[in-house]
A = this chain, B = another copy of it.
Amino acid sequence: MFKKILIVGCGLIGSSVLRGSFNRKISKKIFVYEKSKKNISKIKKINSKVIILKKLNNKISDIDFVILSTPMSQYERIIPYLNKFLSKKSIITDVGSTKQNVLNLKNKKLNKSLDWILSHPISGSEVSGPEYGTKNLFLNKWCIIVSDKNKSKVKKVIRFWKKLGSKVILMDPVEHDKIFSLTSHLPHLIAYNLIKTAQDFQKKHKKNVIKFSAGGLRDFSRIAASNEIMWRDVFFNNRKNMINAINMFIKNLNSFKKNILNLEDKNLRKKLINSKKVRKQIIDLKQDVSKPDFGRE
C-alpha cells in the first residue's frame, strides 16, 4: 500500500500502528522516530526490520505516509521538520484525541503544499509504552477522519485504517470535539477526580480505603491511571467543551444530591432505571463485552 511510512512517537498507539502495519504488510519499509532511548530498545525487539531514525531530517526521502503518534503538545515542534523533508506527494496523519486545535495548528504552521488528514482512532488503554501495543489494537474500533478537500488522499488514509481493522467514519472537527468531550474526555476527568477525592478522604480520615476498592472504586482507578501528558493535552485543547461538560455534570449531580437529601424515591429511581438502557445500547453496538463485570476474574 505504501513504500515508506514513518511513525513519529512510538508508545502504545505508535507501536500498535507499527505491529499492525508489519502484520498487514502495509508498507515496504517502516521508519520510526522516537525520543526515548528506553523505548527504542523495546521497539527494536518488536520487528528486526524496523528502521530507527535518530533525527528527523531530509536524508530520508520519499516518505509516503507519516503518522504522528506523540502527545499532541509535540506536534508544533515536529511540523518544521515535516515542512523540510516531506514532498507534496506525502500524506500526514495523526492520532490526536481533539481535532479543532490540530486543524488550527496545521493551517498555521504546515506548508500549504503538504497534506495532513486528521485521524482519531478510538482505542487506547490505561497503560503507556511500546511494550503494550498490539497488532489488533484498532480492530473493530472506530476511527474518526476529519474530512478534507483532497479526496484521493482522504481515501488513502481511510484505506490505511481499514487495513488495520478499524471502522472509519468522517466527521466535522467541531462535532468531533463536542461528541468526544462527553464520551471520552469527561469520563476520564471524572475518573481522575474520583480518585483524587478518595485520596483526600484517605488523608483526612487516616484510613486505608483503597483496600476496599472492589465495591466500585477500582473501575475508576483503571481509567485514572492513563497517561498524564496525553490527558493534560486533551483537557487543555478541548477546554471549552470540557467546561460545558463539567457544568452539565455538576448540574445533574446537584439534582441527584437533592433527590437523596429529600428522599425523592420516584425521581431517583427513574434515573437509576434509565441508565440501564445505555448499557444495553453499548453492548448491542458491540462497544463493550457483554459478560458481567467485564468477564474479569
Interface positions of A (Cβ within 8 A of B): 97, 122-127, 132, 141-142, 175, 178-180, 182-201, 205, 207, 209-225, 228-229, 231-232, 235-236, 239, 242-243, 245-246, 248-250, 252-254, 256-257, 259-261, 263, 265, 268-269, 271-276, 278-282, 285, 287-289, 291-297
Contact = CB atoms under 8 A, between A and B. Distances in A.
Interface SS of A by simple majority: helix
A194 B248 CA distance: 9
Contacts of A197: 182, 186, 245, 248-249, 252
A105 to B, nearest CB: 16
A212 B142 contact: yes
Contact of A187 (B207, B219, B231, B296): B219
B192 A178 contact: no
A126 B279 contact: yes
In the complex this chain forms, how many copies of it are found? 2
A73 to B, nearest CB: 10
Contacts of A220: 187, 190, 219
